[in-house]
Amino acid sequence: MTRFVVRRFISMVLVLFAISVMTFLIFQVIPNGDPAQRMAGRLSTPETVAAIRRTWGFDDPIWQQYLTTMKKIFTGEVISYTQQVNVLDQIWQDLPATLSLAIGAGIIWLALGVLFGVLSALHAGHFTDRALTVAALVGVSTPVFLLGAVALYFLAFKVQLFPNGGYVPLTQDPLDWLYHMILPWLVLSVLFIGIYSRVLRSNMLDTMNEDYVRTARAKGISERRVLLRHVLRNSLIPIVSLWALDFAAVIGGGAILTESVFNLQGVGQYAAESIRQLDVPPVMVVVMLGAFFVVILSAVTDVIFALLDPRIRLAG
Amino acid sequence: MATVDSTVRAGAPARAPGADATAGLSPYRLGLRRLRRNKAALAFGALFLLIVVLCLCAPLYADHVAHTSPNANHVTDTVVVGGVRKDVVSPTGQPIGPTWQGRFLLGADQNGRDIAVRLLYGGRNSLEVGFLATLLTMVLATIVGIVAGFFRGFVDGVLARLLDLIWAFPVVLLGIALGTALALGGISIGPLHLQGNSLLVPAFIIGIVYIPYVAKPIRGQVLGLREQEFVDAARVGGAGPLRIMGSEILPNVAGTIIVFVPLMVANAILLEAALSFLGAGVQPPNPSWGTMISDGIRLIPSAMHLTFVPGLMLVLAVLGINVFGDGVRDALDPRAKVRLEEHAEEASR
């Protein structure tokens, strides 16, 4: 087990390093034009550009530029020149909204995805299954920002069942927080519910043909117990590992579209606003930290799974 | 969507009649036959095709029906609707809604531009980005997947790490990173110079982002194929690596490639919309379904047609190609089922 953890840790560190290099290349090296000019934004004075070139060391050799960039990101020195704010401070301030969105939505999409997947598998080929399949296809084909806009128009503007976007901190008013979060949670969940229910459906249908399921049936165990104890349990493993990755990706910036439609003022919306102004520094920091978060959480998930299931340890 | 297959699995008796008629047919012939029986998939495929044709006819519609161009401003113009002369954009900035006639069929936006014309031109851009991105993904992913799987060892190690690296970034995040970085200066790939506002930039970005989702399954399949007897036979017959990859391995992964194409087109169109919505995709004043939704979303309370018209078109197109793609997958490989979705699941967040 220790060997597995050490090996997983080393590979994680390597991937983190590679991600930092790739982020650096994407933002500072690959595009045409002057990196200092890009950092400064569209409306910038020649003095700002010159100052940026000096502090970011864009005249240095390339490996030195990489070190300077990383040092700036990790010591929290990156400043948005367009918006005149410290990027890391802003991310820190926006984190609660992003976490609220991700955690609530994560619980909803796992629960409903499993529920609909089981229903679909149980009634495979019948009306419930077909209806759920159609719903899942529509859900997967609708961009989340469009769904959010439609939901806001009908449920917040026309009927006024929900507030018209915005975020209320949990510590300030828990009930109002919940009231503001329900619609974003549901909208963000739709796509994942569609994917998870279909993956679970096919996993369950595959598992039903396994020998041990036939054995369980042959022993005379009730059909309900066979499905829940033997089929569902084994079909859930890939779903849960999928969930861990998606959950990490949502926190790491994947909810950027939902956040900006519902004006949740989270990290994703901060990134979205920065993109709109083509303000490079915040986008760079959000992208890199987001990818870091996904990689770290996926390593943690792997270790947890190895603890639960020895077969993974041997295979990995 | 293939409910026939799922009932078989759920324990219903397999259909016996006509089984002999399939003897001697190639897998693709059989697949085509199964696809032809899947009416839902065909109907949705036709819907997608109809949207493509409509968008290709954008200049005809603009010149002969709407008499305007996608970026032409009509803020101060008026239009006669049902005998009444109306402002295209009212003095308070309220754009006109659908008129259901030649000019401003689906209304105007806040700059007085014809929504129907922009919808078709925007669709052209969205579809162009989607198809080009898919082409790039499929070509590069096929090459990378086959080479990595065939040579294994060091080559595979390097390529697999590269794929893992792209894979580690959430799709939208990598898309906006490249989109923001390239929007100002553009990029040079060898002799090819792309301007920041070129349509090829989002196509290039989306094409790159999805490579691992296709290359990984192909690589896995090639790892198994290279051990088969027919590959040994070709090698004994004196075929070099290039020839084996081209004429022994490639035809055997063609099924996987075909199945991925519609799925990737759907995902590429969705990602284009997401990137354009955020401002990191198609750059204004070029219309695309994503930029149109993005422009309209702030005006939803007063002029919802600005968002709903391109939104509906986008959903219909993506749904059409998705359902059709499902049908193709079930037809070519009835047992594969949702396996592909697990790989491409991150695609459209």
Task: Please tell me the distance from the alpha carbon of residue B347 to that of residue A287, in angstroms, as a whole number.
Answer: 17
Measured between beta carbons, the chain B residues lying within 8 angstroms of A129 are 3, 6
CB contact under 8 A, A254 and B319: no
Nearest to B181 among A31, A257, A276 (CB): A31
Cβ-proximal residues to A119 (8 Å cutoff; 6+ apart), any chain: A128, A129, A132
CB B149 within 8 A of CB B156: yes
CB A313 within 8 A of CB A4: yes
Task: Please tell me the distance from the alpha carbon of residue B258 to that of residue B35, in angstroms, as a whole number.
Answer: 13
CB contact under 8 A, B278 and A257: yes
| A86 bridge partner residues | A79
At B281, list the tokens: 């995709």
The nearest alpha carbon in chain B to A122 belongs to B10
CB contact under 8 A, B178 and A26: yes
Smallest CA-to-CA distance from A267 within A246, A279, A253, A278 is with A253
Chain B nearest-CA distance from A174, in A, is 28
Nearest to B170 among A37, A208, A253 (CB): A253
pTM of the model: 0.86
Please write the tens of the pLDDT for every residue from B219-262. 989 988 988 899 999 999 988 889 999 989 999 899 889 989 99
Task: Please tell me the distance from the alpha carbon of residue B28 to that of residue B331, in angstroms, as a whole number.
Answer: 9
Interface probe with A: pick from B1, B159, B180, most Cβ of A within 10 Å: B180
Size of the A and B interface in Cβ pairs below 8 Å: 197
Regions of chain B where pLDDT drops below 50: 1-19, 337-349
Chain A nearest-CA distance from B278, in A, is 6
Q: What is the value of ipTM here, to two decimals? A: 0.86
Cβ-proximal residues to A220 (8 Å cutoff; 6+ apart), any chain: none
The nearest alpha carbon in chain B to A199 belongs to B338
CB contact under 8 A, A201 and B338: yes
Please write the tens of the pLDDT for every residue from B255-287. 889 989 999 999 999 999 999 988 888 887 888
Burial call A261-296: b when 16+ CB within 10 Å, e when fewer: bbbbbbbbbbbbbbbebbbbbbbbbbbbbbbbbbbe
- pLDDT of the residue at B6: 41
Region of B36 (left: φ > 0; alpha: ψ -120 to 50; beta: rest) is alpha
Q: CA torsion B211→B213→B217→B220, rounded to 10°? A: 70
- pLDDT of the residue at B32: 85
List chain A pLDDT tens, one digit each, 316 residues: 788 889 888 988 988 998 999 888 888 887 777 788 878 877 778 888 888 888 888 888 888 889 988 988 888 888 887 777 888 889 889 889 999 999 999 999 999 999 999 998 888 778 888 889 888 889 889 999 999 988 888 888 888 888 888 888 888 888 888 888 999 999 999 989 998 998 898 888 888 878 888 888 888 888 888 888 888 888 888 888 888 888 888 887 778 889 988 988 888 888 888 888 888 888 889 989 888 888 888 888 888 887 877 666 655 4
- pLDDT of the residue at B265: 95
For tokens 């769904």, what's the residue?
A147
Q: What are phi and psi of A105, to 5 degrees?
A: -65, -40
Region of A204 (left: φ > 0; alpha: ψ -120 to 50; beta: rest) is alpha
Region of B333 (left: φ > 0; alpha: ψ -120 to 50; beta: rest) is beta
Chain A nearest-CA distance from B283, in A, is 11
The nearest alpha carbon in chain B to A209 belongs to B9
Mean pLDDT of chain B: 81
CB contact under 8 A, A150 and B270: no
- pLDDT of the residue at B126: 93
